[in-house]
Amino acid sequence: MQQRTIHLFLVIMILSTPLRALSAGLVLQCATASPFVNYQRRQTGLDAYIETQSALSIKGVLANIGPDGSKVAGAAAGAVIASPTKFDPDYFYTWTRDAALTYKMLVERFIAGDSSLRTKIDQYVSAQAILQGVSNPSGGPTTGGLGEPKFNADLTAFTGSWGRPQRDGPPLRATALILYANWLIANGGRTQALNTVWPVISKDLAYTAKYWNQTGFDLWEEVSGSSFFTIAASHRALVEGSALATALGQPCNGCAAAAPQVLCFAQTFWNGAYVDSNINVNEGRSGKDANSILSSIHTFDPTSACTDATFQPCSPRALANHKAVTDSFRTVYPINRGIAQGKAVAVGRYNEDVYYGGQPWYLTTTAAAEQLYAALYQWDKLGSLSVTSVSLPFFRDLVPSVAPGTYAKGSATYNSLTSAVKAYADGYMAVVQKYTPSNGALAEQYEKSTGAQLSARDLTWSYAAFLTAVERRKSIVPPSWNEPANNIPPTTCSGTPACNARMTFNVRIRTVPGENIYVTGQLTQLGNWDPNSAQLLSAGRYTDSDPLWSATLDLPSETVFEYKYIKKTANGQVVWESDPNRRTTSSAGCGSSGTLNDNWR
C-alpha cells in the first residue's frame, strides 16, 4: 500500500496496517531468536530488577545512536536509530519524534549529573541542524519540511510512501533542546546556547507556531487529524520557547500569542470522561489511547498543582483518563484476564489496534507507571491530595472506601491513598519485568497471550521510556517549564491568524449531467481525504471544447500538500482519479495566489 494513493477507505485500511511497518503486514514476528520469554526475572524482586534493567536500558539507548552505537553501524553522528531491525519491520531510520523523546531523557540525565552524555548531546544538536535543511517529501526548510517524520540513518531524505506530515517532531525536539539551552545559560555556555542551539530551536518553534492548528498524522502514524499528543507537546514548546527567546534576547514570533490558543484547543479533547486522543478524523475508535498518557508525562511539571487544563499527572482529568485507557485493555489481552480493577495490566496503544495483531507495548506500559509516579511527586510537593467527583472512580479502584475531599500529607487517608497508588504504579513495572527476557532486551511489543517479544527488537523508545519511569519512581524530575504561569486557557478559542494563499484548482474532464467534480487532499481545507468533505468545483466555464471544472480556495501559504480530484456520479458513486497523488506547494506570502492546471487522470 502506498501513502500517495491514500483515500478515505485507505485511511480506514491504514488503521488496520500502521504505516510504520506496512511491510510487516499482520504476521506476528518475534523480535528475539526464540519465540519464548525467559521468565527468570520473575524470581527477582522489583527493586533489583529495576536497577539491573536501568543499566541495560541506558546501554540499549546508546547502542542505537550513531556514530559509534554498537548496533547501528553506518548511522551518522547524533542520529538516533529507532531499532537495529532492518526487516519485518524495517526500523533502521531516525524518527524526529523518537529521537527527540530519547534525547529529552538523555538531557535530563545529563542535567542530573551524567556528564558523559554531553558529546552525544552536542552531536544531536548538529545532526538536527542538518536535518532541518534537508528537503523531503513534506517540503523544504521553510515550506513544511520540518514535519517530515523520518530520515535515513545517514541523515538523507527518506522519499518512500509514508504518513506525512507529523507535526509532533518539531515541538518535541524544541523541548529537548530548550532543556539543554537553559542548562548552558546557567553554566557558562550562553554563547553556545545562542549561536548553536537556538538556531535549531527557533526553526522548530516557528514551525509549531505556524502549523499547530493544521491536521497531521498522529504519533502512531496511522490517522491524519488533530492529535492530543501533538497539541500538548506544542503548547509546552511554545511556552518554554518564548521564555528562552526572552532570556537570549531573540524573537520568537507568534510563540506567546499561539500558546494560550493551543491550550484552549487542548480542552476540546476532553469529552467529560476521558481524553479522545484523535479528533477531526473519522477513524471509528473510542479515542481511549495511550497517546493521552504519554502526553501527560511529557508535559509533567514538578512545580505544578494538579492542573486539569494541562492534564498534569495528578490532575482529576489525567487520573480519570488513566483509568479509562488502562481499563480498556483488561479484556482484550489474554494475559490480563482475571486481573482485578485497581491492579496493573499490560497496556497497548489503543484497544482497537490490529498492528501485529494488536499487542501490548513496553513503552505504553511503563508510561502508565510513570504518570502515577509523577503524580505521587506532585502530591508530596503540594502537601495534599484531592479526590474529586472526576477522579473518584480511579481512587475507588485502589481504596474502595475513599470519599471526595482534600487530604493533608501525613493524614491516614493521604498515606493510604499514596501507598495504594505507589503499589499500583509498581504493578505496571512488574508487568514489564514479567515479560522482559533474561538478557534485558526490550523490543517494541510483547505478545498478548504469551508475553513473547514481537516486532522491532531493541527499540530505543522502549529503553528510554523505561528509564524515565524509573527516574520518576526515584523522584528524579526535570526542571520546570513554567506551567503554573501558563495553565489558564482563554475563555474563547481562536486559531492562528491565517496566512493564506488563494489557490485556483483547474481540472479538465468531460462529464455528463448529474456528475460533479471535487478536490480533496491532506489539508483540513481539502477535507483530509474524506470524499464527504471534499471541495466542489464549478462547471461555470465548462464548454464542449474546454471541459473545465474550477474552484479557488484559501489554503495555508507556502505549504507542501498532496491532493486528488474525485468524481461523484448522479447515484452517489465516488470515482477517484488514478494514482499517484498530485503534489504541489501553495504560493508564498499571505494573500498571494497561485493556479494549478490539471487534466483528469
Residues belonging to the active site: 218, 221
Letter string b/e over residues 230-254, b meaning 16 or more CB atoms within 10 A of that residue's CB? bbbbbbbbbbbbbbbbebbeeebeb
φ, ψ of residue 385 to 5 degrees: the values are -135, 130
Q: What is the distance between the alpha carbons of residues 95 and 80, in angstroms, rounded to a whole number?
A: 8
* Contact between 476 and 568 (Cβ < 8 Å): no
The CB density around residue 30, as the number of other CB atoms within 10 Å, is 16
On whether 162 is known to bind a ligand per the annotation, the reply is yes
Angle between helices 46-62 and 412-434 (to 10 degrees): 60
Taking CA atoms, 348 is separated from 336, 448, 469, in Å, by 11, 9, 16
Angle, CA of 136, 237 and 92, to the nearest 5°: 40
Taking CA atoms, 487 is separated from 65, 420, 444, 531, in Å, by 35, 29, 34, 38
Taking CA atoms, 541 is separated from 243, 548, 569, 596, in Å, by 53, 6, 20, 16
Q: What is the distance between the alpha carbons of residues 99 and 82, in angstroms, rounded to a whole number?
A: 8
Three-state DSSP class for residue 498: coil
Q: Cis peptide before 67, with omega less than 30 degrees from 0?
A: yes
* Contact between 272 and 516 (Cβ < 8 Å): no
Reduced 3-state DSSP string for 41-66: HHHCCHHHHHHHHHHHHHHHHHCCEC
Q: What is the distance between the alpha carbons of residues 112 and 490, in angstroms, rounded to a whole number?
A: 35
Q: What is the distance between the alpha carbons of residues 228 and 401, in angstroms, rounded to a whole number?
A: 33
* Contact between 18 and 222 (Cβ < 8 Å): yes
Question: Which residues are bridge partners to 65 per DSSP?
Answer: 80
Three-state DSSP class for residue 462: helix
Q: What is the distance between the alpha carbons of residues 311 and 127, in angstroms, rounded to a whole number?
A: 32
φ, ψ of residue 216 to 5 degrees: the values are -165, 180
Helix (H) or strand (E) holding 446: strand 445-446
Angle, CA of 221, 199 and 144, to the nearest 5°: 35
Q: What is the distance between the alpha carbons of residues 47 and 197, in angstroms, rounded to a whole number?
A: 38
Q: What is the distance between the alpha carbons of residues 596 and 355, in angstroms, rounded to a whole number?
A: 38
Q: Residue 453 has which C-alpha cell?
A: 517479544
| Of residues 574, 499, 530, the one with CA closest to residue 224 | 530
Q: What is the distance between the alpha carbons of residues 39 and 446, in angstroms, rounded to a whole number?
A: 13
| Of residues 10, 437, 78, 468, the one with CA closest to residue 224 | 10
List the binding residues for substrate: 162
List the binding residues: 162
